[in-house]
Amino acid sequence: MPIATVDPATGRTLKTFEPMDAAAVEERIARAESAFREHRETDFATRAALMRAAADLLDSERDTIARTMTTEMGKTLAAARAEAAKCAKAMRWYADRAEGLLADEHPDPADVADSGAHRAVVRYRPLGVVLAVMPWNFPLWQVIRFAAPALMAGNTGLLKHASNVPQTALYLGDLFHRAGFPEGCFQTLLIGSGAVEDVVRDPRVAAATLTGSEGAGRAVAAAAGDAIKPTVLELGGSDPFVVMPSAAAELDAAASTAVTARVQNNGQSCIAAKRFIVHEDVYDAFAERFVAAMERLTVGDPTAESTDVGPVSTEQGRADLEELVQDALSRGAEALCGGHRPAALPDGWYYEPTVLAGVTDAMRIHREEAFGPVATLYRVPDLDAAVALANDTPFGLSSNVWTRDADEQRRFARDLEAGGVFFNGMTASHPALPFGGVKRSGYGRELSAQGIRAFCNVTTVWFGR
């Protein structure tokens, strides 16, 4: 795949970039290792001041970088501005809290006395150079939620971003340098996927994190595992959105939230709700509201303020989406709305917001992630069936449940196979909450205390009597 900005609203290639050669990559790895030796010695107050400066820069340039993101991957301008604001918030969150999250821990001396210790300390120390392999769908947020905690912990970072967002990648590589971080603390590598393994295996690279496809996750994890290096993986998702009868009085809110949960980021989000599992007692009423709201969405130019849903990011992405929908329709599913390219938008990679009913396990979309504005709608008879269907997926990133019944909430919280369970709302990532999944959605956690400790050497310091 070429490293290029291709506007998904028009299909036109706007700018291309030459991949870095081996010498350029070597120079950046060496610079990252050298920067780590300096950066790890800085105190938290110094790192926090630099991180806040980077957040201030991002805030001041929000409109410019938002337009770049929209041009490169098609998200609406409103969504792009919100993403930039969220990134600045997370940067300040870690600037304010990193010292406390990584504070030394002091076990009770009585607990360690029989080891011969007078006292002991648990300390969190940075690992070194961390490689981040990041996707295009949230081209700022996916990077910042790694970079902010990693830099605040004293690590340095190398970014291999998706090849269709090179200008956003270069912006990120420059942002932290302009904020005052030592040269080499955070750098972008403009390289193709074929060059990633050599970087992972380089002995100066201490760890890797990847958000992306299962295939990419397997490749990076295999290389890192062979080199005995830690990884964090956030892969695909096919999150359930369950609606139970106890939420009957809130169906308007549930349906409205369901639409946002499905079409956020033009439907291209790992944590977007994709499978809508509705109890038969409220199925008809929910479906009517949900489909009507999906049909009201405005599809079009992502730079227009009136647009709700922009284009899918790549031509191949739309083709993949179309294949999933056509497979389902050919096997008996019904399109309650959508199911086609919008005729009024012949240029660009647009797809109509779509709701499929009558989906069975014989259809690919029942098992595979639909990365675009396509929802599957299921009817279930009871709670047991809802839990079973919600778990009938190879993924386990997050989940959404609408119920006001406390017993049902306990059951869903206990039995759903996912990294998160969100009641009466929509899954969202937040700096204070751990984020990640189970099963083929990956392993490890980003954000919160877990995220900043993910790339730390948890060191036991023992003092004899």
CA distance to 265, 428, 431, per residue, from 372 (Å): 9, 18, 26
Return d(Cα 334, Cα 355) in angstroms, integer. 8
Q: Which of 33, 83, 234, 368 is catalytic?
A: 234
Q: Quick check: 383 and 408 in contact, CB under 8 A?
A: yes
334 is a catalytic site residue:
no
List the catalytic residue out of 270, 337, 352, 369.
Answer: 270
Ramachandran angles phi, psi of 346, nearest 5°: -70, -25
CA-nearest of 161, 136, 134, 144 to 91 is 144
Contacts of 64 (CB under 8 A, 6+ apart): none
Distance CA 397, CA 442 (A): 8
CA distance 430 to 445: 12
Q: Which of 208, 209, 153 is nearest to 457 (CA)?
A: 153
- Cα 50 to Cα 177: distance, rounded to the nearest angstrom: 9
Asked about 270 being catalytic, the answer comes back as: yes
Rounded CA-CA distance 304/308 in Å is 9
Report the distance separating Cα 98 and Cα 190, nearest Å. Answer: 30
Contacts of 210 (CB under 8 A, 6+ apart): 132, 133, 134, 216, 217, 220, 221, 231, 232, 233, 234
CA distances from 302 to 9, 10, 116, 271, 351 (A): 7, 11, 65, 21, 13
Q: Residues 6 or more apart from 248 whose CB is under 8 A from it?
A: 281, 282, 285
CB 417 within 8 A of CB 396: yes
**Alpha-carbon gap, residue 463 to 465, rounded angstroms:** 7
CA nearest 365: which of 430, 456, 274, 301? Answer: 274
Residue 408 DSSP SS3: helix
Instruction: List, in order, residues 6 or more apart from 263 with CB less than 8 Å away.
Output: 272, 294, 297, 308, 309, 353, 373
Residue with tokens 């849903």: 309
- In which element (H, E) is residue 442 found? strand 442-443
CB 107 within 8 A of CB 453: no
Active-site amino acid positions = 234, 270
